[in-house]
Homo-oligomer: A and B are copies of this chain.
Amino acid sequence: MASTVEGGDTALLPEFPRGPLDAYRARASFSWKELALFTEGEDMLRFKKTIFSALENDPLFARSPGADLSLEKYRELNFLRCKRIFEYDFLSVEDMFKSPLKVPALIQCLGMYDSSLAAKYLLHSLVFGSAVYSSGSERHLTYIQKIFRMEIFGCFALTELSHGSNTKAIRTTAHYDPATEEFIIHSPDFEAAKFWVGNMGKTATHAVVFAKLCVPGDQCHGLHPFIVQIRDPKTLLPMPGVMVGDIGKKLGQNGLDNGFAMFHKVRVPRQSLLNRMGDVTPEGTYVSPFKDVRQRFGVSLGSLSSGRVSIVSLAILNLKLAVAIALRFSATRRQFGPTEEEEIPVLEYPMQQWRLLPYLAAVYALDHFSKSLFLDLVELQRGLASGDRSARQAELGREIHALASASKPLASWTTQQGIQECREACGGHGYLAMNRLGVLRDDNDPNCTYEGDNNILLQQTSNYLLGLLAHQVQDGACFRSPLKSVDFLDACPGILDQKFEVSSVADCLDSAVALAAYKWLVCYLLRETYQKLNQEKRSGSSDFEARNKCQVSHGRPLALAFVELTVVQRFHEHVHQPCVPPSLRAVLGRLSALYALWSLSRHTALLYRAERRCSCPGRRDRSS
Q: Does A579 touch B at the CB level, under 8 Å?
A: no
Question: A68 contacts which chain B residues (CB < 8 A)?
Answer: 70-72, 249
Q: Does A463 touch B at the CB level, under 8 Å?
A: no
CB distance from A356 to the nearest CB of B (A): 12
CB distance from A127 to the nearest CB of B (A): 16
Of A32-40, A272-280, A447-455, A580-588, the one contacting chain B is A447-455
- Contacting pair A431 B455 (CB below 8 A): no
**Pick from B416, B424, B442: contact of A438, CB under 8 Å:** B442
**Pick from B168, B250, B450: contact of A432, CB under 8 Å:** B250
Q: Which of A579-609 contact B (CB under 8 A)?
A: 604-605, 608-609
Q: Does A19 touch B at the CB level, under 8 Å?
A: no
Of A159-167, A294-302, A378-386, A496-504, the one contacting chain B is A159-167
- Contacting pair B428 A196 (CB below 8 A): yes
- Contacting pair B354 A552 (CB below 8 A): yes
Give the docked Cα–Cα distance between A414 and B37 (Å).
42
Question: A71 contacts which chain B residues (CB < 8 A)?
Answer: 68
- Contacting pair B336 A455 (CB below 8 A): no
Question: A195 contacts which chain B residues (CB < 8 A)?
Answer: 428
Question: A430 contacts which chain B residues (CB < 8 A)?
Answer: 449
- Contacting pair B249 A338 (CB below 8 A): no
Q: Does A283 touch B at the CB level, under 8 Å?
A: no
What residue in chain B is nearest A161 (Cβ atoms)? B429
Count of this chain's copies in the oligomeric assembly: 2
Give the docked Cα–Cα distance between A335 and B455 (Å).
14
Q: Does A612 touch B at the CB level, under 8 Å?
A: yes
- Contacting pair B70 A70 (CB below 8 A): yes
Q: Does A4 touch B at the CB level, under 8 Å?
A: no
What residue in chain B is nearest A426 (Cβ atoms)? B449
Give the docked Cα–Cα distance between A482 and B175 (Å).
76
The interface bits of chain A over 492-530 (1 if a CB of B lies within 8 angstroms of the residue's CB, else 0) are: 000000000000000000000000000000000000000
**Contact A427:B449 (CB < 8 A) given known A166-B343, A248-B434, A548-B351:** yes
Question: A617 contacts which chain B residues (CB < 8 A)?
Answer: none
Give the docked Cα–Cα distance between A544 and B434 (Å).
34
Q: Does A241 touch B at the CB level, under 8 Å?
A: no
- Contacting pair A165 B438 (CB below 8 A): no
Question: A416 contacts which chain B residues (CB < 8 A)?
Answer: 420
CB distance from A350 to the nearest CB of B (A): 6
Give the docked Cα–Cα distance between A66 and B70 (Å).
13
- Contacting pair B66 A159 (CB below 8 A): no
CB distance from A169 to the nearest CB of B (A): 6
What residue in chain B is nearest A430 (Cβ atoms)? B449
**What is the number of residues of chain A that contact chain B, defined by CB distance less than 8 Å?**
73
- Contacting pair B434 A249 (CB below 8 A): yes
**Pick from B164, B548, B621: contact of A428, CB under 8 Å:** B164
Q: Does A368 touch B at the CB level, under 8 Å?
A: no
Q: Does A58 touch B at the CB level, under 8 Å?
A: no
CB distance from A554 to the nearest CB of B (A): 11
**Contact A251:B423 (CB < 8 A) given known A350-B552, A548-B350:** yes
**Contact A453:B424 (CB < 8 A) given known A66-B248, A608-B605:** yes
**Pick from B338, B453, B624: contact of A544, CB under 8 Å:** B338
Give the docked Cα–Cα distance between A248 and B334 (Å).
23
What residue in chain B is nearest A163 (Cβ atoms)? B335
**Pick from B334, B343, B545: contact of A338, CB under 8 Å:** B545
Which residue of A159, A162, A334, A605 has the most chain B CB atoms within 10 A of its CB atom? Answer: A605
- Contacting pair A428 B454 (CB below 8 A): no
- Contacting pair B449 A248 (CB below 8 A): no
Q: Does A218 touch B at the CB level, under 8 Å?
A: no
**Pick from B431, B437, B545: contact of A446, CB under 8 Å:** B431
- Contacting pair A445 B431 (CB below 8 A): yes
Q: Does A67 touch B at the CB level, under 8 Å?
A: yes
Question: A355 contacts which chain B residues (CB < 8 A)?
Answer: 455
The interface bits of chain A over 49-86 (1 if a CB of B lies within 8 angstroms of the residue's CB, else 0) are: 00000000000000000111011100000000000000
What residue in chain B is nearest A428 (Cβ atoms)? B196
Q: Does A532 touch B at the CB level, under 8 Å?
A: no
Q: Does A472 touch B at the CB level, under 8 Å?
A: no
What residue in chain B is nearest A609 (Cβ atoms)? B624
Give the docked Cα–Cα distance between A164 and B432 (Å).
14
**Contact A431:B608 (CB < 8 A) given known A165-B335, A168-B340, A455-B351:** no
Q: Does A549 touch B at the CB level, under 8 Å?
A: yes
Question: A165 contacts which chain B residues (CB < 8 A)?
Answer: 335-336, 427
- Contacting pair B551 A351 (CB below 8 A): yes
Q: Does A101 touch B at the CB level, under 8 Å?
A: no
Q: Does A349 touch B at the CB level, under 8 Å?
A: yes
A–B Cβ pairs within 8 angstroms, 15 of them: A68-B70, A162-B333, A196-B428, A248-B432, A249-B434, A250-B432, A251-B423, A351-B552, A423-B445, A424-B449, A424-B454, A424-B455, A604-B605, A604-B608, A605-B605
Q: Which 10 A-B pairs have the closest CB atoms?
A: A251-B438, A608-B608, A249-B433, A604-B605, A68-B71, A605-B605, A66-B249, A354-B552, A338-B544, A166-B336
A positions within 8 Å CB-CB of B:
66-68, 70-72, 159, 162-166, 168-169, 195-196, 247-252, 333-338, 340, 343, 349-351, 354-355, 416, 420, 423-424, 427-428, 430-434, 437-438, 441-442, 445-446, 448-450, 453-455, 542, 544-545, 548-549, 551-552, 556, 604-605, 608-609, 612, 621, 624
- 5 further contact pairs, Cβ within 8 A, besides A416-B420, A424-B455: A420-B420, A424-B453, A427-B449, A604-B608, A609-B624
